[in-house]
Structure 1
Amino acid sequence: MNAMVAGQRGFSLRVPDSWFAFDVRRATRTGDLARLVDARTAAEPRLRPYRSALLKMLREVADRAERRGAVYCAAAPADDPGGGTVATLLVFESAGADDPADSTVAAIAGALTARAPAQPGGPWRTVETVRIPAGEAVRIRAVEPARLDGGTAVDTVTMQTLIPVPATDHEEWQVGVLNVVLTSPHVGLADPLLDLFEAISDTLQWSSSNPPG
């Protein structure tokens, strides 16, 4: 799926076929989510009895993504289609710092703090710079409490990949920072989930002027 960010720079990400991906800016105002579910249930008849549950799940994810200001969203449904989501992908766009030097990969990484577990099984966070096909980025891996919509904090597997948005041919400076955020409450599966999150994040590609798909 493609989406647009600042200026005319667009991006694309690939997620597994079992995930639902959509443009947050359209999803809560059009019939896109219903069409997604209808297409999936037509392709997989076993899911037809769960159409309402799937649509409710996607609407909840889309509403949450819109409230948080995401521009792109994808969700992995549980094996039991009525069981909610296994993982969620949100992409955020920020304008970056006023001084372009403060929005470089080195500056972003320097402003973040790693955290070693204080005890076995305790919260932890790592911060590193990585090279992905879209360019150099900052990657945060963590298992730590997170709050959704102001609710109770829940231990969550998280991967964030922050990457400066490169300028187009008509722009002198990079024009923002993109943050690809993947999360799951299934901390017992942290290692395989982080491997999956890395594989998804590394599909990020830039485009110059492609409209949203």
Structure 2
Amino acid sequence: MSAAATRPAATRFTLRVPDSWFEFDVWRATRTGDLARLVDARTAKYPRLRPYRAALLKLLREVAERAERQGAVYCATATADESGAGDLLATLLVFHTHGGDDPAENTVAAIAARVSAVAPGQPGEPWRSVEIVTIPAGEAVRIRGVERGVIGGAGAAATIDTVTTQTLVPVPGGEHGAEGVLNVVLTSPHLGLVDELFDLFEAISDTLAWTPDVPAS
């Protein structure tokens, strides 16, 4: 695993993802040649990926544009190897929100109380679990499940189910003890690997740590 870049301002954190993942700054990815340089560096290291350069770059650009539209401050993604280049395996997005005006709304207990669990129904139906966990960055709300969303525009909309893990952590250091809430979101469309993905997603989320200039909670 490799350390992610430290984020600025109220989102000063580090995360570790597997070396095979692509990590990039969302703002720069949509405005500079960073993604092309990232893909070129990867294909130089692994020449077998060169035939898939265009597919990889197109995929990363789509992920970066979606991350920016959603307001993510950090993004990483895992793609299939050369036998299926262009396929998305998993995506990591990190969001920073200011939370509620009342500091009491930004506590772990308050955040957990606002999220409803959804019991598993028929096989293949969406479900969601909510629990409070302790990770190195402090207490957090852990949400796991299979979420159903809609993709595409009018007339071409389709539903897609994704394996999803969210880890919500109050950011320490604000005037009232917190600078909002950080949400680490990992998703994958591979429903056949639910248990393996949950293990991986939690392992990544649990590496969240504040940088030295942010006091530990």
- 1:120 shift after superposition: 3.0
Q: Which has the higher contact order (CA 8 A, sep 6+)?
A: 1
Cα distance 1:110–1:5, how it changes in 2: closer, same or farther (>3 A)? Answer: farther
- 1:119 shift after superposition: 1.9
Cα distance 1:195–1:107, how it changes in 2: closer, same or farther (>3 A)? Answer: same
Q: Could you tell me which of 149, 153, 159 is aligned with 1:153?
A: 159
Is the contact made by 2:143 and 2:165 (CA closer than 8 Å) also made in structure 1? yes
- 1:66 shift after superposition: 0.5
Alignment of 1:174-213 (within 5 A): 174-209=178-213
- 1:146 shift after superposition: 1.9
TM-score by length of 1: 0.91
Q: Could you tell me which of 56, 59, 62 is aligned with 1:60?
A: 62
- 1:117 shift after superposition: 1.4
- 1:155 shift after superposition: 1.0
Residue 99 of structure 1: aligned partner = 102
Alignment of 1:124-143 (within 5 A): 124-143=127-146
TM-score by length of 2: 0.90
Is the contact made by 2:56 and 2:86 (CA closer than 8 Å) also made in structure 1? no
Report the Cα distance in structure 2 between the residues aligned to 1:14 and 1:149, rounded to whole angstroms: 32
Report the Cα distance in structure 1 between the residues aligned to 2:136 and 2:213, rounded to whole angstroms: 19
**1:18 matches 2:20:** yes
- 1:84 shift after superposition: 2.3
- Per-residue CA deviation, residues 68-89 of structure 1 (Å, 9 max, x unaligned), is 1111001100123533210000
- 1:106 shift after superposition: 0.3
- 1:25 shift after superposition: 1.4
Cα distance 1:209–1:26, how it changes in 2: closer, same or farther (>3 A)? Answer: farther
Residue 31 of structure 1: aligned partner = 33
- 1:121 shift after superposition: 3.2
* Identical columns (%): 67
Count of aligned positions? 207
